[in-house]
């Protein structure tokens, strides 16, 4: 989940990330704290609207580009998860809280996990209600055991070097009947998202989950640039 990740995305919109950024990215992964946009740091936050309440640092602004909603379709994504008011959701790689803010308006509680100090600091300043910021590790989101109905991972898995270990560390956080939702960019040339070499194919993502004894519950195709998979244990 995510930058909380400087999730190897180009800034949302038409602008492209600088080539030097991608060169730097080639040798890094979630193990580099200042590199990824996953939400982290225990604390209580306060949520009102779907927009940030405090100025977004320059390094994280690509996560909040105004036209991101046109292709990310956050409301439709959340509707597809069929959340209940009593649910607890973990937003892994939350970054600026783009999804965490929206989840918090619909569920009982949100864990916003990230490994990037700048993202975590921003989330703390946001002080969103019903959101606990959780400092994660490269291969462990550090979520409380048996705490989540849904673990949501958007544009994060392609940054994880050891995905099998990461997924093993997600399992203990799931409540009985819990789900893991994954969104990643299709592995082809697109107007937004990370460069082709950085993308994780849908087939590879599904294979990782199946090897981890997950079952594919839903395969959603309404997003124009990303695949959206929901797994159960």
Q: What is the CATH number of the domain that holds 128?
A: 3.40.50.150
Question: For residue 170, what are the domain limits?
Answer: 4-232
* pLDDT score recorded for residue 52: 81
Q: What is the pLDDT of residue 51?
A: 78
How many domains does the chain fold into?
1
pLDDT in tens, 109-131: 999 999 999 999 999 999 899 99
Is the distance from CB of 229 to CB of 219 less than 8 angstroms? yes
Using one digit for the tens of pLDDT, what is the confidence trace for 154-183? 999 999 999 999 999 999 999 999 999 999
Low-confidence ranges of the chain (pLDDT < 70): 1-49
Note the pLDDT of residue 149.
98
Radius of gyration of the chain (CA): 16
Query: 4: closest CA among 153, 115, 154?
Result: 115
pLDDT of residue 12: 37
Sequence-distant (6+) residues with CB within 8 A of 20 are none
Q: What's the rounded Cα separation, in Å, for the pair 73 and 85?
A: 21
């Amino acid at each position: 989940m995510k930058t909380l990740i400087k999730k190897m995305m180009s800034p949302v919109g038409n602008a492209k990330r600088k080539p030097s950024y991608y060169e730097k990215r080639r040798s890094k992964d979630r193990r580099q704290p200042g590199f990824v946009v996953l939400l982290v740091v225990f604390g209580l936050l306060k949520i009102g609207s779907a927009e940030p309440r405090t100025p977004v640092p320059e390094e994280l602004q690509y996560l909040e580009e105004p036209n991101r909603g046109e292709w990310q379709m956050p409301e439709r994504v959340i509707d597809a998860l069929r959340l209940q008011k009593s649910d607890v959701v973990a937003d892994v790689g939350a970054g600026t809280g783009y999804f965490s803010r929206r989840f918090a308006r619909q569920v009982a509680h949100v864990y916003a996990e990230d490994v990037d100090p700048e993202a975590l600091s921003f989330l703390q300043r946001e002080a969103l209600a019903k959101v606990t910021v959780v400092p994660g590790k490269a291969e462990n989101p550090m979520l409380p055991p048996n705490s989540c109905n849904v673990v949501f991972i958007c544009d994060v898995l392609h940054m994880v070097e050891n995905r099998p270990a990461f997924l093993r560390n997600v399992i203990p956080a799931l409540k009985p009947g819990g789900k893991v939702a994954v969104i990643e960019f299709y592995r082809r040339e697109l107007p937004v998202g990370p460069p082709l070499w950085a993308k994780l194919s849908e087939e590879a993502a599904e294979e990782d989950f199946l090897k981890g004894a997950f079952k594919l519950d839903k395969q959603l195709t309404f997003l124009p640039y990303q695949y959206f998979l929901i797994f159960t244990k």
